[in-house]
Amino acid sequence: MSKILNVYIRPLVHSDAVDLLNLEKKNRAFFENYSITQPENYWTLETHKELIEKWEQNTKQELEYRFGIFKIDGDVLIGTIGLFQVLRGPRQSALLGYSLDKEHNGKGYTTEATNLVVDYAFENLNLHRIEAGVMPDNIGSIRVLEKAGFHKEGVARKNVEINGRWEDHQMLAILNPNH
């Protein structure tokens, strides 16, 4: 029996730029708690069009894979998820990152999207390992990753600069069970 999903993922395309910008603006204060500080020109439609074009090029070069998280009911963009810093050769790994519209948190959507990306990474990209770093006080995000099968590996001290401060990150990972 297959599980009924509430979301689907797909690569973002040029026509998604307006929805992406609106999602980012709507959640700006919420996302800034856990994300790097964005330059002021980030908040323009032109920048979001350029970002999507860059992501498309990076996907062609197997450097990153960025997806929108869409609610099946209404076909609405509610978040983003991606694999970045993709390493080939002996590593076959990537970092996972995501963000979800604050009003949709706590409904299992990010866990569903994470499972979809992990399946894609292991089945289509043949990656061996996916890592994610989460600020230790972001309990919801740690739960998302654990529900998706990630395990805690340790804390990377002062790992990412967020809002002018170097923040620790709980590191989690999942391994391809077919390797």
Length of the chain: 179
Query: b/e per residue, 106-124, with b = 16+ CB within 10 A?
Result: eeebbbbbbbbbbeebbee
What CATH number does domain 7-175 carry, 3.40.630.30, 3.40.190.10, 3.40.50.10860, 3.30.1360.70?
Answer: 3.40.630.30
Q: Of residues 56 and 1, which shows the higher confidence score?
A: 56
What is d(CA 91, CA 35) in angstroms, rounded to the nearest whole number?
Answer: 26
Find the mean pLDDT for residues 11-38. Answer: 93
Dihedrals phi, psi of 91, to nearest 5 degrees: -85, -50
Mean pLDDT in the chain?
95
What pLDDT score does 179 carry? 92
Map residue 130 onto helix, strand or coil: strand
Band (132; pLDDT cuts 50, 70, 90) = very high
Dihedrals phi, psi of 57, to nearest 5 degrees: -65, -45
Quick one: which of 148, 147, 170, 151 has its CA closest to 34? 170
Given a cut of 90, whether residue 33 has pLDDT beyond it is no
Q: Give kind and range of the element (H or E) at residue 74.
A: none
Given a cut of 50, whether residue 1 has pLDDT beyond it is no
What is d(CA 127, CA 125) in angstroms, rounded to the nearest whole number?
Answer: 5
Classify strands 129-134 and 93-100 as parallel, antiparallel or unpaired. Answer: parallel
**Token pair belonging to 152:** 């805690």
Band (163; pLDDT cuts 50, 70, 90) = confident
- Total-model pTM: 0.93
- Secondary structure letter of residue 125 according to DSSP: S
